[in-house]
């Protein structure tokens, strides 16, 4: 379980995170959704000890992260960054095998089982054919898939994924989100940052919507991904529709005017499941 309480962080005199608080439960795939510049990546880095927040607390698996070493934290949470450019031409199989390092006490001297876990992660994402290719010669999308395989091989109870599908084609985007759903179903906690409202609406158990003023909504996607909330962060840009039981976000400029609706039928009855916060003045 992840518990973040009252996190404050500034870059110099510029406040980026002001009183951020939320929790993510075991077995939950939680989307962190919001516009550029609202502090999503900074929040990830604060939680993972890449940045030192000024006040607040972060607990993972019941323990304050300030009391954990980086080595110990790597046994608890894996991380997929937005972009990664390696300094050396490691083979893909070696990059994925690095995910096993927290369990070994070092990269060298890996066991057969660790190699099998790394290859299984590549196979799970259907990219085994990349195993013997230099990682730094792959496309951005292929590198993103490899980093996801590395996180899977790390086999931690929590995963932080920072825009894990931003460089992928549609087929691989769906593959990654479906894989995340499967991993969460095994009882692991996943916090995934995304700019795509449809992805978080289709796949996440819960969505935390953030703006430059902080968290504006926290709840199930059928409640948090609606026109009223999207208007708070995207200023009359999005229209939300339903196709059967599936909700779809599209540009308001192309949505038929006669069909515009800010809230789905029946949503009023379930608003109690969602905490919607007033934006700060």
pLDDT in tens, 143-155: 999 999 999 999 9
Instruction: List the chain domain ranges.
Output: 87-154
Rounded Cα gap, residues 160 and 147, in angstroms: 12
Task: Decide which of 257 and 101 is more confident.
Answer: 101
Percent of the chain having pLDDT more than 70? 89
**Cα torsion 13, 18, 23, 27: sign:** negative
State the DSSP H helix or E strand holding residue 61, giving kind and residue range, or none if neither: none
Distances from the Cα of 66 to the Cαs of 48, 50, 69, 79, 157, in angstroms? 10, 12, 8, 18, 18
Band (281; pLDDT cuts 50, 70, 90):
very low
Taking all residues of the chain, what is their mean pLDDT, rounded to a whole number?
Answer: 88
Neighbours of 42 (CB within 10 A): 20
């Amino acid at each position: 379980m992840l518990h973040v309480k009252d996190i404050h962080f500034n870059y110099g005199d510029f406040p980026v995170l002001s009183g951020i608080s939320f929790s993510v439960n075991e077995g939950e795939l939680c989307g962190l959704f919001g516009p550029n510049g609202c502090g999503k990546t900074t929040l990830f880095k604060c939680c993972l000890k890449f940045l030192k927040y000024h006040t607040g607390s972060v607990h993972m698996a019941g323990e304050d992260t300030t009391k954990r070493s980086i080595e110990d934290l790597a046994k608890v949470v894996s991380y997929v960054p937005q972009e990664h450019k390696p300094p050396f031409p490691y083979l893909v199989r070696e990059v994925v095998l690095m995910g096993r390092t927290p369990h070994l006490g070092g990269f060298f001297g890996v066991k057969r089982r660790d190699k099998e876990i790394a290859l299984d992660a590549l196979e799970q994402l259907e990219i085994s054919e990349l195993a013997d290719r230099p990682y730094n010669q792959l496309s951005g999308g292929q590198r993103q898939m490899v980093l996801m395989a590395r996180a899977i091989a790390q086999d931690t109870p929590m995963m932080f994924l920072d825009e894990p599908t931003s460089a992928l084609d549609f087929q691989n985007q769906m593959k990654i989100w479906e894989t995340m759903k499967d991993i969460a179903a095994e009882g692991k906690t996943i916090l995934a940052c995304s700019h795509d409202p449809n992805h978080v609406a289709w796949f996440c158990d819960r969505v935390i919507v953030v703006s430059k003023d902080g968290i504006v909504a926290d709840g199930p996607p059928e409640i948090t991904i609606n026109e009223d909330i999207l208007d708070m962060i995207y200023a009359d840009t999005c229209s939300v529709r339903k196709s059967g039981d599936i909700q779809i976000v599209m540009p308001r400029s192309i949505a038929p005017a006669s069909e515009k609706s800010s809230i789905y039928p029946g949503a009023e009855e379930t608003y109690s499941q969602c905490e919607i916060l007033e934006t700060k003045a």
